[in-house]
Amino acid sequence: MAIIHRLSPRLANQIAAGEVVERPASVAKEVLENSLDAGATRIDIDIEAGGSRLIRIRDNGVGIGSDDMPLALARHATSKIASLEDLERVGSLGFRGEALASIGSVSRLTLTSNNREEGSEGCSALTEGREMDVQLRPAPHPRGTTVEVRDLFFNTPARRKFLRTEKTEFNHLEEVVKRLALSRFGVGFSLRHNGRVIHNLKGAETTAEQQRRVAAICGPAFMEQAIHIDSDRSDMRLWGWVALPTFSRSQADLQYFFVNGRVIRDKLVAHAVKQAYRDVLYHGRHPAFVLYLELDPAQVDVNVHPGKHEVRFRDSRAVHQCIFSTLHRALADVRPAPAAEALATPEGLAINAATGEIARQPGLGWGAATAPYGPAQAPIPGRALEQVQSYGRVHPSMPAAAETPEDAPPLGYAIAQLKGIYILAENTSGLILVDMHAAHERITYERLKAARDVDGIRSQPLLVPQAMAVSQREVTLAREHEHLFRGLGLTVDIAGEESLLIREIPVTLRDSDVEALVRDVLSDLVEYGSSDRIEAHMDEILSTMACHGSVRANRRLSSPEMNALLRDMEATERSGQCNHGRPTWTQMSLEELDKLFLRGR
């Protein structure tokens, strides 16, 4: 029988390294977080062979005193927390005191630092993964710290064999640098790989500089198609940039979410964002965003994952509601608007206020409508012809674009109809193409939803109440959230310890599988503390009604009718996409048209 014995320090650190140090990117993440915690304003990163041969990170932070150098490489030694109270409201990125010890156990680690304001008399500590013996010696170094990691996994060949190609490992490491650069705008980052400069990001203090950094990391196309949000509540603040639905991605590779400066991946956040984009995102596509949530550190637990990628919120329902409501409102307010003017700099350059890039020619911008768009009477499906014909009677005839080119509205004035499908319009920037059916479908859909919100959800009693077997926990949830079910048009009674009775259902869901919907709602309440399953199902029904009740292709519209449709698009929420997430219109600027015909060459 095996005898219990204490593990050697080397083996214990290598086991810990299995959780902390997965690949070169993990080493860079831990060291960079230490640099940021030390108050660095400039960090230089040198990489060789994807990080397996060399990772050198140098910062200008507060540094480490010579007396603390041996402890800096010891396990569970840190200057960031001292008590359980500190752990419960930790504000630093690192706090466990495991990183350097774990890294040193699987590499040749050299730590050089100086904490003096003046002079260059520093200290260097070396360890090579044997018994974690630390060798100290004097070394010249300016204020700050340099961490040099060579030959990663040199003493664990099995781990080294699991490393991918040099390009793959560097891509993971570069992504770590990008995330941290987005989390700390005031810090400058320099990244070199095999002697070649990959990124040289200066500190960004002003809004334009921050937007330029986001554009440099996420691409100018993201910033051109992104809207800025800033929602400040009493106990939390959410701000950042979210891309328009037209900038959706085939995979979730452009999603950055930060909680108090820490990048996280959280299913609660993902669910709230997905729910906000539900009405406007094409099936199978993913939104892009860079968002920052700021709240009291005591309201979030960061000590729930070895890599600190996940967190747990004390009030997850409030966080979910904050994210969903802010994004939902911001996306609803996105409507065609005149382009913002470029900002003039002292150097004489015109900088795009949205992207931070040099503006070549103003394009069509986005913004919230100045006047609120109130709910209108819900149209009856199948009455599209009468509704379209009424456009000409309700709206006066619009002037031609050529008569008032400077005063043209965002979507301009109609000039033609193509094949009974598309409307061609001219605005101050160039040509507008509108999918007539898709645009009218969105307008009809929003009016149906507005009418439902005004009249409320009508319910009808079941002739024979429907019983359903559930768990005791779900019975408790149904009792606690009785008001939520009633607000959705459902009357759910407790029939026993493990059974529920559905007595009333919404009229619009009379042909649906209501029992499955109730189970889904209860599942969401367990996972997220809220649910939108009923509303989503109702919206699907309204969407189908809007699709059948909208003007069809090959319908010839008069000029007043086309202009009236354009004006309704400008006043309607989410008019950039139809109910299925497809775009309803697109802009071709004069510059793009000139390129088609090689003008100006």
Assess contact for 385 and 377: CB atoms under 8 A: no
pLDDT tens for each residue of 462-511: 989 999 999 998 999 899 888 888 877 889 999 998 999 999 988 877 77
CATH code for the structural domain at 207-337: 3.30.230.10
User: Which class does domain 9-201 fall in?
Assistant: alpha beta
- Give the list of residues 6+ apart from residue 568 with CB closer than 8 angstroms, or none: 443
Residue 464 backbone class (left: φ over 0; alpha: ψ -120 to 50; beta: rest): beta
How far, in Å, CA of 240 to CA of 231, rounded? Answer: 9
According to the model, what pLDDT value does residue 343 have? Answer: 52
Same topology for domains 207-337 and 392-601, yes or no?
Answer: no
According to the model, what pLDDT value does residue 57 have? Answer: 98
3-state secondary structure of 206: coil
According to the model, what pLDDT value does residue 361 have? Answer: 41
Instruction: Using 70 as the pLDDT threshold, list the residues of the chain that sit under it.
Output: 1, 9-10, 13-19, 130-132, 306-307, 337-406
According to the model, what pLDDT value does residue 403 have? Answer: 45
What token pair was written down for 105?
């156990």
pLDDT tens for each residue of 177-236: 999 999 999 999 999 999 999 999 999 999 999 999 999 999 999 999 999 999 998 899
According to the model, what pLDDT value does residue 39 have? Answer: 94
According to the model, what pLDDT value does residue 348 have? Answer: 46
- Give the list of residues 6+ apart from residue 75 with CB closer than 8 angstroms, or none: 9, 12, 13, 16, 97, 98, 101, 102
According to the model, what pLDDT value does residue 18 have? Answer: 62
- The ranges assigned to domains in the chain are 9-201, 207-337, 392-601
Assess contact for 353 and 343: CB atoms under 8 A: yes
Q: In this prediction, what percent of the chain has a pLDDT beyond 70? A: 85
How far, in Å, CA of 138 to CA of 115, rounded? Answer: 13
Q: Quickly count: other Cβ atoms within 10 Å of residue 437's Cβ.
A: 21
How far, in Å, CA of 34 to CA of 93, rounded? Answer: 7
User: Which class does domain 392-601 fall in?
Assistant: alpha beta
As a whole number, the mean pLDDT across the chain is 84
How far, in Å, CA of 297 to CA of 311, rounded? Answer: 11
